[in-house]
Amino acid sequence: MRAKHQEATAVALSTLVDLCRARAAAEPDRRSFVFLADGVAESDSLTLAELDRKARAIAVVLRAAAAPGARALLSYPPGLDFHAAFFGCLYAGVIPVPVAALDGTRGNLKWTRVDSIAANSRSTLLLSTADGLARVHPLLKQTEVLAGLTVIATDEVDAGAAEEWTPPEITADTVAYLQYSSGSTGEPKGVVLTHANVLHNLSLIHDNLRRPADEDMPRPTAVTWLPLNYNLGLISGVLEPLFGRHDVRVMPAPVFVQRPFTWLRAISDLGRADSVAPNFGYEFCARRVTDAQRRTLDLGGWEMALVGGEPVRAGTLDRFCAAFAPVGFRRESLFPAYGLAESTLMVSGGPIGRGPVVLQVDRAGLAAGRVRPADPEGGGRPLVSCGQIHPALTVLAVHPSTGKPCGAEEIGEIVVSGPSVGAGYWNAPAATADAFAARLPDHPDRQFLRTGDLGVIRDGQLFVTGRAKELLIIAGANHYPHDIEATVQASHPAAGELRCCALSVDDGERERLVVLAEAAVPAQEAVLREVQRSIRRAVNAEHGLQVHEVILVRPGSLPFTTSGKIQRRQCQERYAAGEIPGRL
Domain boundary among 204, 229, 258: 258
Return d(Cα 249, Cα 245) in angstroms, integer. Answer: 14
Q: What is the pLDDT of residues 544-577, one digit of tens each?
A: 889 999 999 998 899 875 445 678 878 888 888 8
Burial of 11 (0-12, 13-18, 19+ CB in 10 A): exposed
d(CA 188, CA 172): 26
- Bridge partners (DSSP) of residue 97 are 73
Q: Which of 190, 225, 258 is the last residue of a domain?
A: 258
CATH number at residue 562: 3.30.300.30
CA angle 263, 268, 271 (to 5 degrees): 135
Within 10 A of 25 (CB to CB), how many other CB atoms are there?
11
Q: Contact 306/277 with Cβ under 8 angstroms?
A: yes
Alpha helices in 129-278 (DSSP H): 130-140, 144-147, 195-208, 231-234, 240-244, 253-258, 261-270
**Which pLDDT does position 3 carry in this prediction?**
42
Q: Can you count the helices (H) and strands (E) in the chain?
A: 20, 27
Q: Is residue 567 part of a domain?
A: yes
End position of a domain, from candidates 226, 243, 258: 258
Instruction: Characterise 556 by phi-psi region: left (phi > 0), alpha (psi -120 to 50), beta (else).
Output: left
Task: Tell me if 39 sits within 8 A of 256, measured CB to CB.
Answer: yes
pLDDT (tens digit, 9 = 90+) per residue, 386-438? 999 999 999 999 998 899 999 889 999 999 999 999 999 999 999 999 999 99
In 10 A of CB 431, how many CB atoms?
14
- pTM as predicted: 0.84
pLDDT of residue 390: 94
Using DSSP, state whether 479 is helix, strand or coil.
Answer: strand
- pLDDT for position 469: 65
Question: Domain range spanning residue 245?
Answer: 2-258
Mean pLDDT of 297-302: 98
Give 58-74 pLDDT, tens digit per residue: 999 999 999 999 999 99
Asked, for residue 372, whether it belongs to a domain, the answer is no
Residue 157 in domain: yes
Give domain status of residue 449, yes or no: no
Q: Rg of the Cα trace of the chain? A: 24
The total number of structural domains that make up the chain: 2
CA 71, distance to chain mean position in Å, is 21
β-strands 302-307, 44-47: how paired?
Answer: unpaired
Taking only the tens place, the pLDDT of each residue in 131-165 is: 999 999 888 888 889 999 999 999 999 999 999 99
Confidence at residue 417, expressed as pLDDT on a 0 to 100 scale = 98
Q: How many CB atoms lie within 10 A of CB 294?
A: 16
- Of 364 and 268, the structure prediction assigns the larger pLDDT to 268
Q: Which residues pair with 190 in a beta bridge?
A: 180
434 in any annotated domain: no
Which pLDDT band, with edges at 50, 70 and 90, does 524 fall under?
confident
Among 244, 259, 239, smallest CA distance to 208 is for 244
DSSP 520: -
How far is Cα 356 from Cα 114, in angstroms, rounded to an integer? 37
Does residue 26 lie within any of the structural domains?
yes
Q: Is residue 37 part of a domain?
A: yes
pLDDT tens, position by position, 470-503: 667 776 666 767 778 878 988 888 887 678 999 9
Q: Highest mean pLDDT range out of 311-315, 439-443, 470-474, 524-528?
A: 439-443
Residues contacting residue 182 through CB under 8 Å, at least 6 positions apart: 229, 230, 477, 478
Cβ-contact 386, 463 below 8 angstroms? yes
CATH of the domain at 102: 3.40.50.12780
Residue 423 lies in a domain: no
**Complete DSSP assignment for 414-478:** EEEESTTS-SEETT-HHHHHHHH-EEETTEEEEEEEEEEEEEEEETTEEEEEEE-SS-EEETTEE
